[in-house]
Every structure is written in structure tokens, then in C-alpha cells.
Amino acid sequence: MGKQKSIRQEKTRKTIMSIVLAIICIIYMLPILVILINTFKDASSVKATIFALPNSETFVGFENYVTGMTAGSFPFWKAVLFNVIITVCSTFLILLFCSMAAWYVARVNSLFCKIFYYLCVFSMVVPFQMVQFTLSKTADTLKLNTPLTIPVIYLGFGAGLAIFMFVGFAKSIPIEIEEAASIDGCGPLRTYFMVVFPMLKPTLISVGILELMWVWNDYLLPSLVLDLGKYRNIPMHIMLTQKGSYGSVDLAAMMAMVFLSILPVIIFYLFCQKYIIKGVAAGAVKG
């Protein structure tokens, strides 16, 4: 009798938790749903009744998407191209160099490695506003103001979290495997790429997803560094092309562009969210 009662209590608890989590999920999804709804309404109705559903008078179909993609002199496809280049190159550099640095820190027990590791961890809590003016000046001086060179800056800002997660996982890799590779004639580079790198897969995937979402949606850093006349990513393109005369903003077209910009990230995250959980747990708990 007591066992059945405990089973019923456990089912009730799980049901309540499921309802609470479903409500929280709906709350988090509401902003995206509001944006999606307003992409099919005319600009005046968006300003007047932002939470109302489109009707026969306010529904404009895909007109806002067409307006958003054709507005301004800077082509939308070029902004997408620059966004892809910046995101892919930045994520690649962060994964490659940070994983190598983390493996070195995890295996070499020296004062330099400890200081380097704690500086990387400390960098995660430093506000970006403290360094933005110095950063923009340095980027102009070193010619890091193009889509092919700005990934170097993203490497610096993304190294803190990446190295923190990689070090935690690298410490859990048995050193005997690396010693066996060394006995077989592998040098440090071959050991890393042939032995260590494949074993870092869970953390590589999770760090890659997190960094990719950050770089893809970033507005502040590119707006400070890139030459606005030549290069724009998608967030910059949205902010600079949807303004009319006297500072007016076409909210409907802007929401359409915002939804298009976040849609690839949402789809990517939904397919890869399980790897984020596994990678974070592996990198934060182990070691």
C-alpha cells in the first residue's frame, strides 16, 4: 500500500514538473512567436497592436521579407555571406587553438600554465565595455577590420569559455594513451591530432555550437571593428537598412529580417542541444 502511494506521489510530482517546465518554455518562446506574427502584418498595425494576430486588413503575406531583403544599397546576400565567413572562421579558430592550448595546460603542470588558465577564466567576467574603445583602435592599427581578420578578435574573446571547458575534459583523458602514442613514434602534433583531438569530440561539439550562436548573432563587436561602408554582418545590416526619414523605423520589415537571422540558429540549436548538455557536463565535472 505504501509503495503504491509513493508511486502515485512520484507520478504527480513528475506531472507538476512537466507542466511548470512547459509553461516556462512557452514564456521563453513568446518573443519569437510575437516576432513571427508581426512579420505578416503591415507596419502601422505592428506599431498599434503588436500582440494582435494578423487579419484580412493587416495581413501582407511575405511583403515584409521582400522589403527587408531589398532595402538599402547594401545587398542582403552579401551581409549573409560575410556573416557566414566570420562565423565559420571564428568558430574554427576557437576550436583549433583553444583545444590545443587547453591540452597543453592540462598536461604541463607549471606556474605559467596555471597563470594562463586563471587569466582565461578571469576573462569571462570582464565586461566588454571596458575594452571596446581600446579594441577598436587596436583593430584599426593592425588591420583586423575585415571579415577575414576579425575572427582573430573573436578568438581572443571566445578563448575564456572554450579553454575552461577543454581543460576540464582534457584532464579526464588517460595519459597512458598519449604515452602509448609517444612510444609508437608520435610527436606532440601527431599525438594531438590522431589521439587527443578525436577524444575531445563531445566538448568540441558543445563549444562549437555555443561559439557559433554567439558569433552569428553578435552586433556590437562587428559594428565597432568593421568598415561599415564595405562590410556588414546580418545584425548590422538590419540596424542600418530599416531606418526611414527622420529616424523612423520599419518595424515590420525589421522583424522579418530578425526572424530570418535567428531561424538558422534556432534550427541548428534544436538539432544539437543534446551535444551541448553532454559537452558542458563532460568539461565542467571531470578533472
DSSP secondary structure letters along 161-196: HHHHHHHHHHTTS-HHHHHHHHHTT--HHHHIIIII
* 116-132 mean pLDDT: 86
SS3 59: strand
All domains of the chain, ordered by start, with CATH? 2-64 (no CATH), 74-285 (1.10.3720.10)
Give the rounded percent of residues in the chain with a pLDDT score beyond 70: 92
Residue 96 has pLDDT above 90, yes or no: yes
Residue 211 has pLDDT above 80, yes or no: yes
User: Could you tell me which of 261, 263, 215 has the C-alpha nearest to residue 95?
Assistant: 215
In this structure, which long-range contacts are made by residues 73-77, counting pairs with CB atoms below 8 Å and at least 24 apart in sequence?
Answer: 74/232, 74/237, 74/240, 74/241, 76/237, 76/257
Q: Name the pLDDT band for 154 (thresholds 50, 70, 90).
A: very high
Which pLDDT belongs to residue 101? 92
Q: Name the pLDDT band for 172 (thresholds 50, 70, 90).
A: confident
Which pLDDT belongs to residue 168? 85
Residue 212 has pLDDT above 50, yes or no: yes
Which pLDDT belongs to residue 14? 86
Compute the mean pLDDT over every residue in the chain, rounded to the nearest whole number.
Answer: 84
Task: State the Cα–Cα distance between residues 205 and 99, nearest whole angstrom.
Answer: 12
Top mean pLDDT of 106-120, 170-184, 235-249 is at: 106-120
In this structure, which long-range contacts are made by residues 188-192, counting pairs with CB atoms below 8 Å and at least 24 apart in sequence?
Answer: 192/100, 192/103
Residue 2 has pLDDT above 70, yes or no: no
Which pLDDT belongs to residue 248? 67
Q: How far is CA 3 from CA 11, 15, 16, in A?
A: 12, 18, 20
The count of other CB atoms within 10 Å of the CB of residue 156 is 14
Q: State the amino acid at position 259 in one-letter form.
A: F
pLDDT tens profile 233-283: 888 888 877 665 555 677 888 888 888 888 888 888 787 777 666 655 554
* 3-26 mean pLDDT: 84
Higher per-residue confidence, 274 vs 186: 186
Please answer whether residues 165 and 206 qualify as being in contact, where contact means their C-beta atoms are separated by less than 8 angstroms: yes
SS3 249: strand
Residue 191 has pLDDT above 80, yes or no: yes
* 75-100 mean pLDDT: 93
